[in-house]
Amino acid sequence: MRIHRTRKADATYDLNLAPFLDIIVSIIPMLLLSVVFVQIRMIETSIPQVVAQKIKEQQEDKKPAVFVSLKIEKGAFGYVVSDNGKKKEFEVAGKNGLLDYDGLAKASANLKRQYVDIFTIDLIPDANVTYDDLVKTLDVVRRLPASEGKVTVKDEKTGQMAETDLMFPNVTFANVVK
Amino acid sequence: MAGGIKRHMEKRLPSTFKIQITSMVDMFVIILVFLLKSYSTSPVNITPNADLRLPTSNSLQEPVDVIKMVISKKGVFIEDKRVVEFDASGSLSSKDIDASDPSFIPGLFKELDEKAKQTQDISKQNETVEFDGRVLMQADRDMPYSLLQKVMYTSMLAGYPNVKLAVAAKDF
């Protein structure tokens, strides 16, 4: 004899979404208050304090042998490298009257490979250079582009070699104090 | 017979009904994902303004909560207070510049100097507060360096030599 079973519960049922909805409705106003459409980032710079720097140099009694400075003019970049008193200058010419950032990236990468231990650069912008051009220049000189690979730097403490894509992250505005 | 019809109607037309909220929940989930993506805990807030368009940068460093100096096309602001007003051409007028030192902006110096003194006074009473001379500069992308140089020079003289540049994230 077959036992006939009756199904008391339905195979389908409705989800109770009300509590879930309550949570979402509570979260959304909070998130709406903190929504941002422009993410702000920051670039570290420093301004030379001539007196403080002189005192520090005198206290430490050592001066860096290599200085790298970059002039930014309306249509061209100009590198000035002082290597143990010898001054080398070269220019990255602009294209169609505009600054050539690709050319600057290549020139900066070549310079970095010559002076792997130098991470400081003095920026000397022209009065007409805009803040936008300044930030673009900082972006270029701070890091090596992916196509240029990385440079190998020796860690003086451990003696080990370390790879980095940083070129000149320590940027100083050299002509703030005229 | 009448009782039979009544029972039939009660069976076919329930007195309560369910609201179909599935589509509303779908919509809310989409909004929630969008809002979570654009959620920010950054201490620096910028209200979108036609007079201040920040340049974009690939810098990934989060801004710090220091004194905010805004250089928009209208003037120089410290926090929300306008300390220098630009002329119609969007540049500094001669009355805002010191006659003996063309890089010095007395109005800006006065405000920053007051801020520095306030912080220094607080730091004397409260050891957790430290005056480190840091200022976050938010400048419009079209501002010339000649103006930025004057602002940085003045802030340095007021005790804020550490100027940080605010930029907009490129990958957003």
Report the Cα B155 to chain-centroid distance in Å: 20
Q: Which residue has the higher pLDDT, B11 or B148?
A: B148
Are B49 and B72 in contact by the 8 Å Cβ rule? The answer is yes
Q: Which residues of A fall within a CB distance of 8 Å from B40? A: 34-36, 39
Are B42 and B62 in contact by the 8 Å Cβ rule? The answer is yes
Mean pLDDT, residues A24-34 taken together: 86
pLDDT for res A3: 55
Rounded to a whole number of angstroms, the distance from the CA of A66 to the nearest CA of chain B is 24
Q: In this complex, do A24 and B25 lie within 8 Å of one another by their Cβ atoms?
A: yes
d(CA A95, CA A56) in angstroms, rounded, equals 41
Q: DSSP state, B59?
A: -
* CA dihedral of residues A76, A77, A83, A88 (deg, nearest 10): -10
Q: Which amino acid is at B89?
A: S
- A149-165: per-residue pLDDT in tens? 888 877 766 777 777 78
Are A137 and A123 in contact by the 8 Å Cβ rule? The answer is yes
DSSP β-bridge partners for residue B71: B76, B139
Interface test with B, best of A40, A56, A128, A168 (most B CBs within 10 A): A40
Q: Which residues of A fall within a CB distance of 8 Å from B161? A: 46-47, 49
Q: DSSP state, B65?
A: S
| End-to-end C-alpha distance for chain A, whole angstroms | 108
Rounded to a whole number of angstroms, the distance from the CA of A97 to the nearest CA of chain B is 17
Rounded to a whole number of angstroms, the distance from the CA of A131 to the nearest CA of chain B is 5
For residue A46, how many C-alpha atoms fall within 13 Å in the half-sphere facing its CB? Answer: 12
Are A157 and A107 in contact by the 8 Å Cβ rule? The answer is no
Task: State both tokens at A163.
Answer: 């790879």
φ, ψ for residue B3, nearest 5 deg? -65, -35
Which of A27, A42, A134 is the closest to B63 by Cβ? A42
Task: State both tokens at A119.
Answer: 């991470």
pLDDT for res A126: 93
Only one residue has tokens 């600057």, namely A104
Helix (H, G, I), strand (E, B) or coil at B99: coil
d(CA B114, CA B135) in angstroms, rounded, equals 14
pTM comes to 0.77
A77 interface with B at CB cutoff 8 Å: no
pLDDT for res A64: 63
Phi-psi region of B39 (alpha: psi -120 to 50; beta: other; left: phi over 0): beta
Residue A7 has pLDDT above 60, yes or no: no
Are B152 and A47 in contact by the 8 Å Cβ rule? The answer is yes
> How many angstroms separate the Cα of B68 from the Cα of each of A172, B42, B74?
20, 13, 16
- B106-151: per-residue pLDDT in tens? 999 999 999 999 988 998 888 888 888 889 999 999 999 999 999 9
d(CA A115, CA A132) in angstroms, rounded, equals 28
